[in-house]
Amino acid sequence: MLIGGIEAGGTKFVCGIGNEHGEIIERVTFPTTTSEETMAKVFAFFRDKEVEAIGIGSFGPIDVDKASETYGYITQTPKVKWKNYNIVGELKKQFDVPIGFHTDVTAAALAESTWGAAKSVDSCLYMTVGTGIGVGAVINGQPFQGLTHPEMGHILVKRHPNDTFEGFCPYHGDCLEGLAAGPALEKRWNKKGQELTDQPEVWDMEAYYLAQALMNYILVLSPKKIVVGGGVMKQEHLLPLVRKQVLELLNGYIAVPEITPENIDDYIVLPGLGDNAGLAGAIALGAGSMSQ
Ligand code: ADP
Ligand code: ZN
């Protein structure tokens, strides 16, 4: 069975073909420009592929409420050419197959829980720490949503006592994303994250924020596994710092074997699918749309 996947990102689009086992057979990448130009490339890619379904894991915010008149739209993006763009509708006009649609991070969570680092459990979170901070959740095997998709990257966290950076989120200033995404590192320390490896104060502060976020997610959603990816996590020493601070913050309050010094390395983990999580997730969304 061939299933199409579209990882619709703010800077690049990845289109691919895979199957229900998570194997990726073909993939192409192109830069995100206007909706017309970018989607013309998407349509051309899938034209002769004979896929049975297509999934889209998209940058957001997006409308994932099937009862809404604007279901399938990219909604409030600052990218003008994509604002209120009916990506599902436009794809449906071209290809008469079931179409799955969710956020890029929910797609990645689904891929990790179906084929990757969280496949042994039926609920997980996927967090990316990159240009922004996004978090997707799979609960009982299903993508999680309520009124709309959660926006867990924008939660409020306690400020580090040594941090005077005002934060860069255009909506909230010093929310988690405003304080801890890649651009926050660059703006606070005047160097890109890649160039800050040897400054321990940078990573202590970064772990301080990320650990608070994970603590809050654990307390609210009780995920069975947390997968953390994105460019900033390429700093290999960062995840161990985050795990340590999560344990300290929780202080033994959640008394489960997974959240202990012995097992935390297996509870808060890097992606099992590496850079394929996004595309594989879109394919998983496509596969899921066939049974709905
Ligand atoms: P996106 O979020 O746009 O999909 P990435 O996940 O690659 O892309 O994140 C890009 C961000 O991650 C940038 O802010 C970049 O500076 C930061 N980044 C990339 N590699 C590293 C690294 N090795 N160490 C720290 N930060 C990094
Ligand atoms: Zn924010």
Decide if 3-104+275-289 and 117-270 have a common fold: yes
The pLDDT, as a whole number, for residue 252 is: 96
92 CB less than 6 Å from ligand 1? no
What is the share, in percent, of the chain residues with pLDDT greater than 70?
100
| Rounded average pLDDT over 126-130 | 97
**Closest of 90, 132, 124, 148 to residue 284, by C-alpha:** 124
At residue 1, does pLDDT exceed 80? yes
Considering the four listed CATH numbers 3.20.190.10, 2.60.40.10, 3.30.420.40, 3.40.470.10, the one that applies to the domain covering 3-104+275-289 is: 3.30.420.40
Q: Which atom of ligand 1 lies closest to the CA of 9?
A: 4
130 CB less than 6 Å from ligand 1? yes
Q: Which atom of ligand 1 lies closest to the CA of 182?
A: 14
The sign of the CA dihedral 50, 3, 43, 12 is negative
CA distance 104 to 9: 8
3-state helix, strand, coil in the chain (%, to 5): 40, 20, 40
183 CB less than 6 Å from ligand 1? yes
Classify domain 117-270 at the CATH topology level.
Answer: Nucleotidyltransferase; domain 5 (3.30.420)
61 CB less than 6 Å from ligand 1? no
Q: Which atom of ligand 1 lies closest to the CA of 234?
A: 23
At residue 292, does pLDDT exceed 80? no
Q: How far is the centre of ligand 1, averaged over its atoms, from the C-alpha of 161 (Å)?
A: 25
> Is there a contact between 120 and 75 (Cβ–Cβ < 8 Å)?
no
167 CB less than 6 Å from ligand 1? no
The pLDDT, as a whole number, for residue 58 is: 97
Q: Where are the beta strands (DSSP E) in the chain?
A: 3-8, 12-18, 24-31, 53-58, 73-74, 85-86, 99-103, 124-129, 133-139, 142-143, 226-229, 268-269
Q: Please state the φ and ψ torsions of residue 262, each to the nearest 5 degrees.
A: -70, -35
Q: How far is the centre of ligand 1, averaged over its atoms, from the C-alpha of 257 (Å)?
A: 32
| Rounded average pLDDT over 54-81 | 93
- Which pair of tokens denotes residue 178? 């405003």
CB burial of residue 216 (10 Å; 0-12, 13-18, 19+): middle
The pLDDT, as a whole number, for residue 79 is: 82
Domain locations in the chain?
Answer: 3-104+275-289, 117-270
DSSP 39-67: HHHHHHHHTTT--SEEEEEE-SSB---TT
> Is there a contact between 209 and 176 (Cβ–Cβ < 8 Å)?
yes
The pLDDT, as a whole number, for residue 104 is: 96
Lowest mean pLDDT: which of 76-90, 169-183, 196-210, 230-244?
76-90
pLDDT of 145-181, one tens digit each?
999 999 999 999 999 999 999 999 999 999 999 999 9
CA distance 107 to 121: 16
Closest Cα to atom 19 of ligand 1: 231
Q: How far is the centre of ligand 1, averaged over its atoms, from the C-alpha of 218 (Å)?
A: 25
- pLDDT band at residue 117 under the 50/70/90 scheme: very high
Q: Please tell me whether the peptide bond between 161 and the residue prior to it is cis, using omega within 30 degrees of 0.
A: no
pLDDT of 41-60, one tens digit each?
999 999 999 999 999 999 98
* Helix ranges (DSSP H) in 137-193: 176-180, 182-189
The pLDDT, as a whole number, for residue 291 is: 84
pLDDT of 184-208, one tens digit each?
999 999 999 999 999 999 999 999 9
9 CB less than 6 Å from ligand 1? yes
194 CB less than 6 Å from ligand 1? yes
**Exposed e or buried b for every residue in 167-204, given b needs 16+ CB within 10 A?**
bbbeeeebbbbbbbbbbbbbebbeeebeebeeeeebbe
Q: How far is the centre of ligand 1, averaged over its atoms, from the C-alpha of 194 (Å)?
A: 8
DSSP, collapsed to helix, strand or coil, labels residue 142 as: strand
- Which pair of tokens denotes residue 212? 């608070």
The pLDDT, as a whole number, for residue 80 is: 84
